[in-house]
Amino acid sequence: MDPFNLKGTVSVSPAAVRRLRRGHLWIYSSDVTRDGAAGPGPFVNVRDPADHALGFALHSPQSQIRLRFFSGPEQPPTADLLRERLRTALARRNGLADRRGACRLVFGEADLLPSIVIDRFADYLVLQTLSSGADALKAQLVEMLSELVQPAGIVERNDVKARLLEGLQQVRGALSGAPPDQVEIVEGGLTFLVDVTGGQKTGFFLDQAQNRLAAARYAAGRALDGFTNTGAFALHLSARCESVLAIDTSVESLQQARRNAERNSVANVEFREGNVFDILRELERSGERFDTICLDPPAFAKNRKALAGALAGYKEINLRAMKLLRPEGVLVTSSCSYHLSEADFFDVIASAGADAHRQVQVVEKRSQGPDHPILAGMPETHYLKCFILRVL
């Protein structure tokens, strides 16, 4: 089967046309007026209410996101166009990480490769195809990546819940080569072991890489790292701090974090299993104080309905952290919830400061790293908010 053969025509509403003209690449099922797609191919021709050609899109028949726009009417989808999109995305990352490091090579819609994510960890690639249309291109992606990057191996990490909404199975495993259980990468002079087949997401949170280096520049004294995962923030803080208390609920993540600490001969980090909310309260009751605190929780708002509860959660952890900080202490706080805007996150921080009876300075306002670019027409590509604060 040639995946670049069109499988039909889909007509969309005026609202969908307006969204496309603003630069948004998604068309929802509610804006599809006629779905004439048939056959196994991933691409369809998209037309407006007057039957004018809009372009070509990846088609997901079972998803609420029915179409993911791929190219305009003058650029029909071809293997050459896909290869050029990959080549361009790779060129954008030149200089962001050397061969021993890690980097997101393709960030889906932001690189005009909708629902395709590719991460590089040293000599290995991790691929995610998160829609049924992208999944149909998997063989071509592996072939092209092998040609363009020449990795030692490619791992599929399609074990995410989003694929269930596409009618796809959750799968993971090697697509080429024989990736080891642990891949070693270098970030900011530290080495980290990455479980590319079993770790969270694709094995390592690459979007915070630059923020970890920035946090270390302000770190001092006694530090706390909440939601430490595999210890990346904690180990960067450790070089500037007397001690670091690193907390996470995952036994497996903490085991990896301890291995990372040993690999870097770091002895001033204590890894503790537990709920961050509970431990922050216990530390406050016992009169503990810190000079530096980092909070990098998972997304509290997975969808818009969860936003109210997420706001309460973000306020609670930031309030507790501010109460634990000594005067002039540094708080590095993040949210990866797309549904929580930067403005609302800042309001939460300000409200937490008021309730903690502390004045809060914004030292740096940061976002996801340059390997996770933000597409202006798609606010969904701007999800990570990070503030470096001084709590007076």
The set of catalytic residues is 336
Phi, psi of 312 (to 5 degrees): -65, -40
> Hey, what are 308's tokens?
């109210």
- Residue 178, judged by CB atoms within 10 A of its CB (0-12, 13-18, 19+), counts as exposed
Q: What is the dihedral of CA 273, 276, 278, 281, to 10 degrees?
A: 120
Tell me which residue has tokens 């923020």. Answer: 211
Query: What's the gap between Cα 59 and its chain centre?
Result: 23
Cα(103)–Cα(210) distance, integer angstroms: 11
Cα(261)–Cα(10) distance, integer angstroms: 53
Cα(294)–Cα(233) distance, integer angstroms: 8
**H helical segments located in 208-327:** 209-218, 232-238, 251-263, 276-285, 307-324
Query: Each residue of 235-270: b (16+ CB within 10 Å) or e?
Result: bbbbebbeebbbbbeeeebbebbbebbeebebeebe
Distances in Å between the Cα of 61 and the Cα atoms of 14, 49, 345 are 20, 20, 35
Residues sharing a CB contact under 8 Å with residue 234, sequence separation 6 or more, in sequence order:
223, 225, 228, 244, 246, 257, 261, 269, 271, 294
